[in-house]
A and B are shown apart, each in its own frame.
Chain A
């Protein structure tokens, strides 16, 4: 029971957090039509093909492995994410480019950037729309990993988990991710196509 209750509280806090975010961004949605349209299209587009889900599952799986697999987790005997803190930057080094890589280079490969950049909308609108789409995809993925890791921690610690510590750790992951997304969006757009930016990232 305690587990379900704690999980519910965490989800409610998440929801409130997302609500505040949407509220803060609402002027953008109201006045920057193009940014909102691009955000919606890219977010829906990412989850309308299987690759998006594959990356999401990989991310959740890897972050759970990193958190609970190392023996240090059990030796320390603490219900926290110390081990994940060590490995998450490495996981994100693969996961973040998987989101950002295609976001510009697909447009260029398909030639659709010509349509986007000749819309009656400033470059800023399009770029911010793309960035928010990437951020939304990342946020959704991180929430899945959060729910999964929290459930495991709760069941291991019989419901006795420091919720504040857990949530602020995830806030840190979220902010790290947002910073990495912005870097990831600049780098591949400098190259010509999706495949060549993959090579760049993996080499």
Chain B
């Protein structure tokens, strides 16, 4: 991949910690994602992936440290950061009583798009996420795969530079996963900065250029995918080694 000359950190976790009472969900997590990078965020269930992502989007406030999107602190200057951020929360939550079209219209209105801009962007994301067939069906009637795509189209609606995707492929069948990969490919071509969490290791090699791995709320690995597994024992073994589970 071509490297851009000055690297700007589009996503930055700066010593992030989140405590729930005495329990530390994540502790002193620090990393940066530069413009145009696609980074996989790995870790076993309950490692703190979603918490970290919620902190990065400004949904939760950190107990210590700071989260920055495109240089904007997500506590002090959240609105400027959110304007450039597309977020797909875990399990792709959506309003079941709405249709994909009315949902996209709602988010376009909430982001203050003009009428023409709204039409243009809705058409673009419907095309990008292949939603044409279901655009006027209630979301409660859609399959998991379609719902995930609607969530994705919502995240892409306002042409964000930064995307935070929490498990974009969970619960999808192999065809749908391939489709998500294709979308990721197109996002990479558009030079979007993407942080996507997953615990499916095969996806990492297919989609990301770099891996950030956390376990028990602490950063365990941050580097290229190929260095994660130098001895070619397979990603599974590397994952088990780093997360100290018997492999």
**Which A positions have Cβ atoms within 8 angstroms of B?**
33-34, 36-38, 40-41, 45, 48-49, 110-112, 114-115, 117-122
Closest A residue to B151 by CB, please name it: A115
Interface of A is mostly: helix
B132 interfacial by beta-carbon distance below 8 Å: no
Assembly CA distance A45 to B94 (angstroms) = 13
Partner of A112, one of B80, B93, B111: B93
Partner-binding segment picked from B54-62, B181-189, B227-235: B54-62
Tell yes or no: B31 within 8 A of A by CB: no
Establish whether residues B94 and A33, one from each chain, have CB atoms under 8 Å apart when the complex forms. no
Task: Please state if B89 and A115 are interface contacts (CB–CB under 8 Å).
Answer: yes
**What's the Cα separation between A41 and B89 when bound, in Å?**
20
Contact indicator B82/A114 (Cβ below 8 Å) = no
What is the size category of the interface that chain B forms with chain A?
20 to 34
Residues of B within 8 A of A (CB): 54, 57-59, 78-80, 82-83, 85, 87, 89-91, 93-98, 106-107, 109-112, 154
B171 to chain A, nearest CB (A): 14
Q: List, in ascending order, chain A residues with CB within 8 A of B87's CB.
A: 114-115, 118
Q: Specify which chain A residues have a CB less than 8 angstroms from the CB of B106 in the assembled complex.
A: 37, 40-41
With known contacts A119-B111, A121-B79, A114–B59 Cβ distance under 8 A: yes
Q: Which residue of the partner chain, among A33, A48, A117, A118, contacts B112 with CB atoms under 8 Å?
A: A33
Given A40-B109, A121-B110, are A114 and B58 neighbors across the interface (CB < 8 Å)? no
State whether A110 touches B59 (Cβ < 8 A): no
Chain B residues, Cβ within 8 Å of A111: 89-91, 93
In the complex, residue of chain A having the shortest beta-carbon distance to the beta carbon of B89? A114
